[in-house]
Copies of this chain bind each other. A is one copy, B any other.
C-alpha cells in the first residue's frame, strides 16, 4: 500500500504548468504545445497519476458505470447473461456494479437505492426464470433493460430467449429424422419456460399434422424426474421413437434410464434436451442434442441496448432472441455415428 495518491495538481506542479493545461495535455486536447504535453505526460507517468473518476463523474454527471441487479445469481441462467453483459461493457470503459437481491423485494429496493445513489448510468435486471417480473423502472432517473426475465410492463425494454421458436425447431429436427411418436417431458407448469416450450412443440406437431405421443409429463427440472418419466413412458407408450425434454437435466436422466432398459439412443428413441448445460449435455451417453439459448449473446445484446437507451435511443418492448439447436449424437440418423 503506497502513500497518498497523486492528483492532477501534483502533476501540474511537477510539470510546471497550471492544472488546466495539465488536464488538457492529459486528455489530448488542442491548445497545448507538444513540448509542454510531453512534460505533463512525463510527470503523470512519474507520479503514476490516475484521474479520480469520482471528481470526473461529479462534474460530467456520467459515471460510466452500470448496475447489474439479479434476483438469483446462483441460478444457471443469470451467470451467462451477466458474463455477456460484462463482456460488452468491458470492451469499452464501462464497469459493472453487481447486486444480488436473493429474490427478496425489500433487498432489491435497497440495492436499487444504493445503485442510484452511486449514480449508475443505467441498469440491467436479470431474472432467474423467464417468468415476467414486476417492473422496477417506474420513475427511475436512469434507463433499465431486463434480460432473461422480462418486465411485466410492456413499455420497458426486455430481452428473452425465443423458447417457443426453439422448441419448434427442436421438434422439427425430430420430425425431419422421420420420428412420428414424439413425447414431451418437462418441468413445473408454473414456469413460463415449460409452457412456452410445450407451445413450441404443439405448433410444430400441428404444422406437421402429427399427434403428440401421450400427454406432456410435467415434473421438476432434475435427472431423477427424467429417469422416472422415462420408466413411466416406456411402460405407457412403448412405441415412442423420440422425446423432447424441457431441460438437459431431464434429458440426462431420460437417456440414462432408457439405456438401462436396454433401449438404444438414438436408434430406438431420439432425445433432445434444452439449455446446453455442457457438464450434462456433452457427458451423457450419447451426448445430447439440445437447445442453446445463447444467453451470453442475450446478455451482450441487453448491454448494447442499454448503451443505446443511455444515449436516448430506447427500444421498448419484449424482444425475443433466437436460440440455436446444437446437434449431437442423441439424434443421429440411423447409420451415422
Residues of A within 8 A of B (CB): 1-3, 5, 50-55, 57-58, 63, 65, 68, 73-74, 79-80, 82-83, 86-87, 90, 93, 95-100, 107, 111, 113-119, 139-143, 222-224, 249, 253, 256, 279-280, 283
Q: Do residues B74 and A63 form an inter-chain contact, with CB atoms below 8 A?
A: no
Q: Do residues B100 and A97 form an inter-chain contact, with CB atoms below 8 A?
A: no
Q: Do residues A115 and B95 form an inter-chain contact, with CB atoms below 8 A?
A: yes
- A73 nearest CB neighbor, chain B only: B83
Point out the residue from B57, B97, B119, B224 that lies within 8 Å of A97, measured CB to CB.
B97
Q: List 22 A-B contacts (CB under 8 A).
A: A1-B140, A1-B142, A2-B139, A52-B58, A53-B118, A54-B54, A54-B58, A54-B63, A58-B58, A65-B97, A65-B118, A73-B82, A74-B79, A74-B83, A86-B99, A90-B107, A90-B111, A95-B99, A96-B98, A98-B98, A279-B279, A279-B280
A264 to nearest B CB, angstroms?
Answer: 15
Number of copies: 2
Q: A99 — which chain B residues lie within 8 A by C-beta?
A: 86, 90, 95-96
Which of A113, A114, A115, A118 gathers most chain B CB within 10 Å? A118
CA distance A222 to B256 in the complex (A): 17
Q: Do residues A96 and B97 form an inter-chain contact, with CB atoms below 8 A?
A: yes
CA distance A66 to B111 in the complex (A): 15
CA distance A142 to B68 in the complex (A): 24
Known contacts A141-B5, A280-B279: A50-B117 contact under CB 8 Å: yes
Q: A224 — which chain B residues lie within 8 A by C-beta?
A: 283
Point out the residue from B63, B118, B143, B249 that lies within 8 Å of A279, measured CB to CB.
B249
Q: A90 — which chain B residues lie within 8 A by C-beta?
A: 99-100, 107, 111
Q: A82 — which chain B residues lie within 8 A by C-beta?
A: 73, 98
Known contacts A58-B54, A141-B1: A98-B86 contact under CB 8 Å: yes
Q: Do residues B249 and A113 form an inter-chain contact, with CB atoms below 8 A?
A: no
- A79 nearest CB neighbor, chain B only: B79
Q: A140 — which chain B residues lie within 8 A by C-beta?
A: 1-2
- A98 nearest CB neighbor, chain B only: B98
Q: Do residues B249 and A283 form an inter-chain contact, with CB atoms below 8 A?
A: yes
Q: A87 — which chain B residues lie within 8 A by C-beta?
A: 100
